[in-house]
A and B are shown apart, each in its own frame.
Chain A
Amino acid sequence: MKLARMIMRTALMLVAAVVAAASARAQMVYGISAVVNLTDTTISTYSATELDYWADAYYDAYVEGYLFQNGWLYGWGSASSGSYSNIAYGYMNKPAIGGAVYQIESDHYVVAAYAYTDPYGTPYFSNPLGYYFLSTGGGSTDNAIPFGPADGPTYVTVQYGYLGTTAVRAYTPTALLSNGSLANATAEWSSNGDGTYNVNVSAPAYNILEEYNFLQAATVTSFPPCTIGEPRLCALWNGVRVLAEVALLAGAAVQGLYNVWSQRVPCPYGWPGDDGAVAPGPDWTWQGNGPPGSSEGNWVKNNPNGRQESLHPDLNHPAPKAPHWDYKDPGGKWWDVWKDGTMTPKK
């Protein structure tokens, strides 16, 4: 299977496809693999390559997702961002088998636009930042395919630069409870009645696959489980999001992310709630010039020893950070509180 994937990947590196891109420089790229919903009967996965604002100005994004069922390829798909979006993404929704183990792998690429062809027929590509994984000097073999609406086919050659692969493995509830290696897991699965499910586990229902998760040699080795049912949140929690500065800082960025997750501890107040306008508890009062739950002010708890704690809702936070509460503990240390009731120190 790996051989087949290698062939596919190699082919992709050599094949050209659609999409024109503006030229310029790049900053960061996000690679995401996530299982956003899994029951004994259905599985939904999400794969994405997301370029930040600056990267998108110069390159396009491309992603391929491969879904494996008990180690066998079960489905695959691909998506391109096109010139007018910064994200290439796709979902796979397929029937699941109770007791099976699923793995979603996503290959991430940036796409460089064609620049010109020299007199010998060698294509050259726009690569203003000089990414080493892109060939600026030509040499790639490209197959142009039709592009553009209306006025007839326009042929645009592009080059794909392989960034890396992310992957996550997920166990159906039956597999989780019957697998001997997970015998000590406590797992509670419940339906929300709207097609989404919650899972609370003390052992991994989701494995982060160390051998796969990298963008240009960066590695994520662990990731916490959490409640599923919210794709953006679960892109972080039930999957893996490898985030990297495209050029040189990939390792540091991902390692920093991992260091934060590894310091996760229970929040003394659990998840303070989904409504920032509601006090986290009877001892908390709103202190601020904005209305409760707004960006100006905090829920404050006064302790008998004179030490204050504060909680501030940040429930509409833009990606890549998930909705959270900011918690300042009695010692003045800052934390992000996550929906599963845990918290991580702020960087």
Chain B
Amino acid sequence: MKEIQLENNAIPLFRERLRGSLGLGPYLEQHIAGGSLWVWAPEVSTPIDLGRLNEDIFYPASTDLESTLTNALLRYFKTDPSAVLVADTAYRLEHARPDSLQWFSLDSFHDPGQRRICAFLTGAAADEKAVEELVAVASPYPTTLVFTSLTHAADLTPGVYLDPRNAVLQDLVQAVKHVLVGVFDERTMLIWSSAGAPPLACLDVDAEGLHRRL
């Protein structure tokens, strides 16, 4: 995989994509400003053209996205003991969920009165299997993975409801470091990194990718 930095004029596109996600994503839209934006693409690719965000430009590049993504997510937990990873899911509160899933609920940003389920993982529970489970339950179109942190991860109790004024929810939003949203058939990720975060360092960016601009 190769990370390619996009110009900041791609941020509106990113925010639009984020607005379409089901759980925590829309809460972050106003928070996405500044920082840097990247596309995480297979290594065999033509230059990214924002006017032509079609997956076909990548085919037939063969990539093992799952294992690459799993490794990147695991690395994030190693860099920060207070790390929290949140995935938007297609579950509503009334849906049955896997017993092993850690989740919290929040108000649907788009459907008043509905509650959506976000799956999450904290450093204490993060291993390869747990990360794979989180990615598996993430709802695609768009897949939304939020890299954030809490000073006291225990504040995020499994099954808790976080209303919009809840302090834990506000902490999660304020501490966001990276956000991944799926594009190109969900096989490639647009990644936003906050201004305070080292650009994707925790995701093991190679130097070549860092310096490639459009």
Q: Which residues of A contact B (CB under 8 A)?
A: 27, 52-54, 243, 245, 249, 252-253, 256-257, 259, 287-290, 295-298, 300, 302-308, 310, 312, 314, 317-321, 326, 328, 331-332, 334, 346-347
Contacts and interface: CB of A to CB of B under 8 A. Distances in A.
* Contact residues of B: prevailing secondary structure: loop
Interface of B: 19-22, 44, 46, 54-57, 59-63, 65, 89-91, 95-99, 101, 110, 132-133, 135-137, 139-142, 185-187
A308 B56 contact: no
Given A53-B46, A302-B95, A332 B62 contact: no
A155 B136 CA distance: 60
Contact of A312 (B19, B46, B110, B141): B141
Contact of B44 (A245, A257, A297, A305): A245
B170 to A, nearest CB: 23
6 contacts: A245-B44, A289-B110, A296-B141, A300-B90, A308-B95, A326-B141
Contacts, number: 97
Contacts of B97: 306
Given A256-B62, A300-B90, A328-B140, A290 B98 contact: no
Contacts of B141: 288, 295-298, 312, 326
A334 B19 contact: no
- Give the one of B63, B141, B185 with max A CB within 10 A: B141
Closest 8 CB pairs of A and B: A332-B136, A296-B20, A256-B62, A287-B90, A306-B96, A306-B98, A306-B97, A300-B90
Contacts of A321: 55-56, 59
Given A308-B90, A314-B185, A326-B140, A332 B132 contact: yes
B56 A287 contact: no
Contacts of A328: 140
B60 A289 contact: no
Nearest to B100: A306
Contacts of B55: 321
